[in-house]
Chain A
Amino acid sequence: MIIAERKPMEEIKQFIAPYKKVLVAGCGTCVTVCWAGGEKEVAVLASQLRLARSAEGSEISVLEATVERQCEREMVAEIKDKVAEVEAVISLACGSGVQTMAEMFEDKPVLPAVNTTFIGMPEKEGLWVEMCGACGDCFLDRTGGICPIVRCAKGLLNGPCGGTRRGGKCEIDPEKDCAWVLIYRRLEKQGRLDVMRKYYAPKNYRAVKRPGKVQASKA
């Protein structure tokens, strides 16, 4: 799912500086799971903002709301009354959610309080790692289910760079495993090393035109 991380507090404080009444809006999907923008984080951020203003000696009124999925117009519409009351909205959703909110409430500044970082999964409690680069041309079939675009520091598609360190570690980041070592080992387990021996043409990075569009065929 989408992983996001809360922005540095200084940045957030800066863009809400002109306002006296704001709404902190969370999203109940991806950002809840990665502890960045769910109902809990909304409450915590709201508390922090109130305490901050109070410490500075000025006031702020902070409303709180969490939408099930901030990238759905219908769901966002449910909080329109609260949005109407405030001067600005601070969204803890991913970029998709922020933009949906911004579109639904054009007259209100919708400010992002998190940085949308990557598509990833939890490696263990509290730690999320990037897995997918959203390149639009998935070739995980031939890399044993390990994406070298994201997990190889150089994004190489046809094997390791030759600088792999001892222990199978990356030349660039010695803390990281070399993605191609992982791919080799995985394909070896599956008895599919022949897949690695083939040459693959350079990747078409324009497979996804920006902004991307996907039209599903009717059900």
Chain B
Amino acid sequence: METKIGVFLCNCGGAIKNIDFDAVAKKVAKFPGVTCVNLSSNLCLEEGKEKMISCIREENIEKVVVAACSPEFNEHIFREVLEKSGLNGHLLSMANIREQCSWAHEGDVTEKAVELVKMAVNKVRFLQPMEKKAVPVNREVLVVGGGFSAINVALQLSRVGLQTTLLEKETVLGDGLEKLESFYGFYPSSMISAVEGDRNIEIMTSAHMTAVEGNIGDFGVRIRKGGEEIFRKYGAIILATGYKTELALDSEPKLRAENEAISGINIVSQEQFCRMLRNPSLKTKPKTIGFMFDFSDENSRFPTLATLNNALAAKKKWGSEIYVFYKSVKVDSEGVEKLYQEARDCGVVFLRSEIPPRITAKNGRVKIEAKDVFLGEDVILACDILVAEELYLPAEETENLSSLLNIRLDSRGFFQDENVHLYPVTSEKKGIFFVGGCRDDLDLGRVLTDISSVVINVNELLSSGKIPVDVERVKADPQKCVACLTCIRVCPHGAIQLIRADNSKEVAGISDLACDACGICAAICPAKAIKFQGYRDEEILAQIEAIGESSNGRIVAFCCEHSAYPAADLAGKLKLHYPENLRVIRVPCAGQVDVFHILKSFEKGAAAVLVLGCEDGACHHITGNIRAKERVNYCNMLLKEVRVDGRPVAMFNVSPNAPHKFVRAVNEITKITKESGR
């Protein structure tokens, strides 16, 4: 018995003038399985929804197609309507006949509208219901680190009732806290006693992670403390491992050699200088002090802060003459411009140069030669102490931790990929967070903001002890899985593990909690064992079939729902017209598009295939657009092999707010297609 499909058409208040709805309704009524076709002028409003619910109930409709405005707007509304009518909300397929049809093209678009509805009807036949379930999770949090960020995160998490373990590799907590006194005028000794006295916080010093397995809600962590191995479970992991600084001098071997004799005494780091300032038994106060920053590394927020604070402190405490050599002062943090002005007003002299100054030793003092930009002349300074330029670098254990956790580092070796969708504190793996100086050169204000952000993020996930998931949204069929480990290796979210299925065979198991529904695994599985509800082969092929049945010349565009699909909608809203023969198939990520889908599109008569995903470096699933690009290239090679020329497959990257780029891509591929005579 065929499923009863109900099709609901909406003419948007009668405003859609270039579609003949009666003709559409007539044609659609003939599609197999369609038992009811309804035309409305306001499906999204209360009265329209009420009518839909009664129709579904009266006609015993089992699956629903809505042909109206973009699903980006109203999909959730119609899913609710289905639920209210007693159907599972996922048995819905939408045809975008407004933004991507009526508004996107000139002239009559009835034919395209019919095809779009056909695509949706074909797809809905295969859709299966999906349930939601609340999965219990472990509420404990592991905080790796023991400095300012780690301590504050633990304290704030405790305030909201979550228990944490502070994992510190040194023997004591509070490494690096003395700097805070010099720079911000407070010594957080109370912080350490607060942490030690907090019943929600467990402190493990001289301890480090040796292995991690599992996913959010259920991380299994092996810790080595003393000679012991401890195994613990946590719901989330927060990395707050800080940073390290290194004298830029160290990277210049010649410079170092020249200064061997006096380095360490006359050439110091900011931290050593802080200690000098705090040392009550300092014998001689330095009369002339030089500071340097922003030459080797122009990413110098922290060096700017350190210099300004130390220079001011030295001026006030010792009254020394202070000269600062720099290229550009980094004032893009709160209060730093004021600090800079204060330093200048206090008499600190700022000497700007474009190239790094020359540093040599002379008569037990440090000689600095620089070309000052304002004077246009060389300046030579002999000083008692030079606080040399420092590089802000990732902490020692960053690389090791990133392999243990299998998470990406950024291009400078700090935690957290540079993908903007991860900011401020998340990683590509659910349940793993970064906070503070371990992810970037941050001032205190930004570190504090990070800390608060991570607290609410973790609270949101773990506080109720349960996280709702779509049950088996993406699943590897244990019968077909050959445990080739490909999906495990490619999943950008680390959501797949080898598990033992019922018959004890090792197969890929996808964690509902950790899965972010991108479909990259489904597209790459060589055994076609992974099923992604709503985007399975059946569902995609059904849409392609509908396109193919019409005459040739169609361009199939797989549009990622985060980027190209909204861009296409915007193009419609802006009335930026593009060729009518475009047929969009909405996908969760460009990385979900299978080579197989592209080839089938051609088999069914497509003139060209477009794959559109996010801009390079901005993929919501990190590697989806890269995979898509590789597959598109592979596809072109496969077609070339069989001498099927003139059937272009192209990949374009576009942002959701870049409708012009979308239209340019479509126009370009249309032009190529016309030129090859299809």
Q: Which residues of A contact B (CB under 8 A)?
A: 9, 13, 28-29, 32-35, 38-41, 43-44, 47-52, 54-55, 122, 125
Contacts and interface: CB of A to CB of B under 8 A. Distances in A.
A49 B526 CA distance: 19
B527 A32 contact: yes
B482 interface: yes
A39 B638 contact: no
A9 B642 contact: yes
7 contacts: A28-B527, A29-B482, A38-B527, A40-B528, A41-B526, A47-B596, A51-B644
B489 interface: yes
A8 to B, nearest CB: 8
A33 B482 contact: yes
B595 interface: yes
Contacts of B595: 40, 44
A170 B647 CA distance: 44
Interface string B486-506: 100110000000000000000
A39 B482 CA distance: 11
A28 B596 contact: no
Contacts of A9: 641-642
Interface stretch (B94-102, B397-405, B598-606): B598-606
Q: Which 9 pairs, one residue from A and one from B, show the smallest C-beta to C-beta distance?
A: A52-B642, A47-B599, A33-B484, A9-B641, A38-B526, A39-B528, A55-B644, A40-B526, A51-B644
A111 B288 CA distance: 86
Contacts of A13: 642
Contacts of A32: 482, 484, 526-527
Given A55-B642, A125-B490, A33 B528 contact: no
Interface string B369-398: 000000000000000000000000000000
Contacts of B482: 28-29, 32-33, 38
Contacts of A34: 484
A48 B641 contact: yes
B199 interface: no
Given A32-B527, A40-B596, A125 B638 contact: no
A102 B602 CA distance: 32
Given A38-B482, A43-B596, A50-B603, A33 B642 contact: no
Contacts of B177: none
Contacts of A51: 599, 602-603, 639, 642, 644, 647
Contacts of B603: 47, 50-51, 54
Contacts of B642: 9, 13, 48-49, 51-52, 55
Interface string B631-656: 00000001101111101000000000
Given A33-B526, A47-B599, A48-B639, 11 more contacts: A29-B482, A32-B526, A32-B527, A33-B482, A34-B484, A43-B528, A44-B596, A48-B599, A48-B641, A51-B599, A55-B644
B643 A35 contact: no
A39 B642 CA distance: 20
B480 interface: yes
A39 B526 contact: yes
B525 interface: yes
Contacts, number: 73
A133 B490 CA distance: 30
Interface of A is mostly: helix
A125 B526 contact: no
A35 B599 contact: no
Contacts of A41: 526
Contacts of B483: 33
Nearest to B641: A9
B52 to A, nearest CB: 38
A41 B525 CA distance: 10
B627 to A, nearest CB: 11
A55 B643 contact: yes
A35 B485 CA distance: 12
Nearest to B482: A32
B607 to A, nearest CB: 13
B439 to A, nearest CB: 27
Nearest to B483: A33
Contacts of B645: 55
Interface string B508-544: 0000000000000000011110000000000000000
A125 B490 CA distance: 8
Interface hub of B482, B596, B642, B647 (most chain A Cβ within 10 A): B642
Contacts of A47: 596, 599-600, 602-603
Nearest to B602: A51
B539 to A, nearest CB: 16
Interface in B529-567: none
A52 B603 CA distance: 10
Contacts of A39: 480, 526-528
B528 A125 contact: no
Contacts of A29: 482
Contacts of B485: 122
B301 to A, nearest CB: 37
Contacts of A35: 486, 526
B328 to A, nearest CB: 42
A38 B526 CA distance: 6
A160 B238 CA distance: 50
A39 B644 CA distance: 23
Nearest to A33: B484
A43 B540 CA distance: 15
Interface string B467-491: 0000000000000101111100110
A41 B594 CA distance: 11
B643 A52 contact: yes
Contacts of B639: 48, 51
B541 to A, nearest CB: 10
Contacts of A48: 599, 638-639, 641-642, 644
Interface in B579-597: 594-596
Which of A39, A44, A47, A55 has the most chain B CB within a 10 Å cutoff?
A47
A57 to B, nearest CB: 12
Nearest to B537: A43
Contact of A125 (B489, B525, B594, B596): B489
A41 B528 CA distance: 10
Interface in B602-639: 602-603, 638-639
Contacts of B490: 125
Given A38-B482, A51-B639, A44 B599 contact: yes
B638 to A, nearest CB: 6
B583 to A, nearest CB: 19
Nearest to B638: A48
A197 B618 CA distance: 56
Contacts of A122: 485
